A and B are shown apart, each in its own frame.
Chain A
Amino acid sequence: MIRTENLCKSYGHHSQYKVRAIHDINVNIAKNCFVVFRGPSGSGKTTLLNIIGTLDRPTAGKVFLYDKEITSFSDIAFARLRREKIGFIFQNFHLIPRLTSWENVAYPLIPSGISLKERFERAQFLLEKMELGDRLDHTPEELSGGQQQRVAIARALINNPEIIIADEPTSNIDAETSARILQFLGELKTRGVTILIATHSAIFEKIADTVYTMKNGRIE
Chain B
Amino acid sequence: MHKHLNLLFLATENLLRHRTKTVVVCLCIIAILTPFITAIAISEGIRAQSLNSVNAGADLYLTSDEFGRNAAISLKYLDEIKKIFGVTKVVPRIVGRGFLQNKLTVIVGIHKEDIPEPVTCISGRVFENTNEVVVGHELAKYFHLNIGDQFSMRCQQRKVFTVVGIFSADSGIWGASMIFMPFNDAGALFGKENVATDIQIYSLPGHNSEIATDLYDIFQNEAYRLQDKQMIELYVKKGFMLKEGVFSALYIVAIALGVPAILVTSGFGLSERKKEIGIMKATGWQTLEVLELISFEQFLISLLGATIAIVLAILWVGGFRGAFIAQFFIAEITMLPKFALPARFLPLPCFISFFFAFLLTMVGSIYSSWRASTVSPVVSMQS
Q: Are A and B interaction partners?
A: yes
| Interchain CA distance A84-B284 in the complex, whole Å | 8
CB of A80 closer than 8 Å to a CB of B = yes
Given that A56-B376, A56-B378, A96-B276 are contacting pairs, would A112 and B3 also be in contact in the complex, using a CB cutoff of 8 Å? yes
The residue on A at minimum CB distance from B3 is: A113
Nearest chain A CB to B135 CB, angstrom units: 64
CB of B47 closer than 8 Å to a CB of A = no
Given that A55-B377, A55-B378, A94-B279 are contacting pairs, would A108 and B284 also be in contact in the complex, using a CB cutoff of 8 Å? yes
Nearest chain B CB to A164 CB, angstrom units: 13
CB of A57 closer than 8 Å to a CB of B = yes
| Interchain CA distance A111-B277 in the complex, whole Å | 13
| Interchain CA distance A191-B142 in the complex, whole Å | 89
| Interchain CA distance A57-B276 in the complex, whole Å | 20
| Interchain CA distance A107-B279 in the complex, whole Å | 10
Total A-B residue pairs with C-beta atoms closer than 8 Å? 75
Interface size in chain B (residues, C-beta < 8 A): 29
Check A82 against B279 for contact (C-beta < 8 Å): no
With a cutoff of 8 Å between Cβ atoms, the chain A residues found around residue B6 in the complex are: 110-111, 113-114, 116
CB of B226 closer than 8 Å to a CB of A = no
CB of B357 closer than 8 Å to a CB of A = no
Check B9 against A116 for contact (C-beta < 8 Å): yes
| Interchain CA distance A56-B282 in the complex, whole Å | 10
Check B284 against A94 for contact (C-beta < 8 Å): no
With a cutoff of 8 Å between Cβ atoms, the chain B residues found around residue A57 in the complex are: 376
CB of A115 closer than 8 Å to a CB of B = yes
| Interchain CA distance A159-B284 in the complex, whole Å | 10
Check B283 against A83 for contact (C-beta < 8 Å): yes
The one of A50, A82, A95, A113 in contact with B284, judged by C-beta atoms closer than 8 angstroms, is A82
CB of B2 closer than 8 Å to a CB of A = yes
Nearest chain A CB to B369 CB, angstrom units: 15
CB of A202 closer than 8 Å to a CB of B = no
CB of B381 closer than 8 Å to a CB of A = yes
| Interchain CA distance A95-B381 in the complex, whole Å | 10
Tell me the chain A residues, 67-123 only, with Cβ under 8 Å from chain B. Answer: 75-76, 79-80, 82-84, 88, 90, 94-98, 107-108, 110-116
Can you give 28 contacting A-B residue pairs, CB < 8 Å?
A50-B378, A55-B376, A75-B374, A80-B286, A82-B281, A82-B282, A82-B284, A90-B282, A90-B381, A94-B278, A94-B381, A95-B279, A96-B279, A97-B272, A98-B17, A107-B279, A108-B283, A108-B284, A110-B3, A110-B7, A110-B10, A111-B3, A111-B6, A111-B284, A111-B285, A111-B286, A114-B6, A116-B9
Besides A80-B284, A107-B283, 6 more A-B contacts (Cβ < 8 Å) are: A57-B376, A82-B282, A90-B282, A94-B282, A113-B6, A159-B284
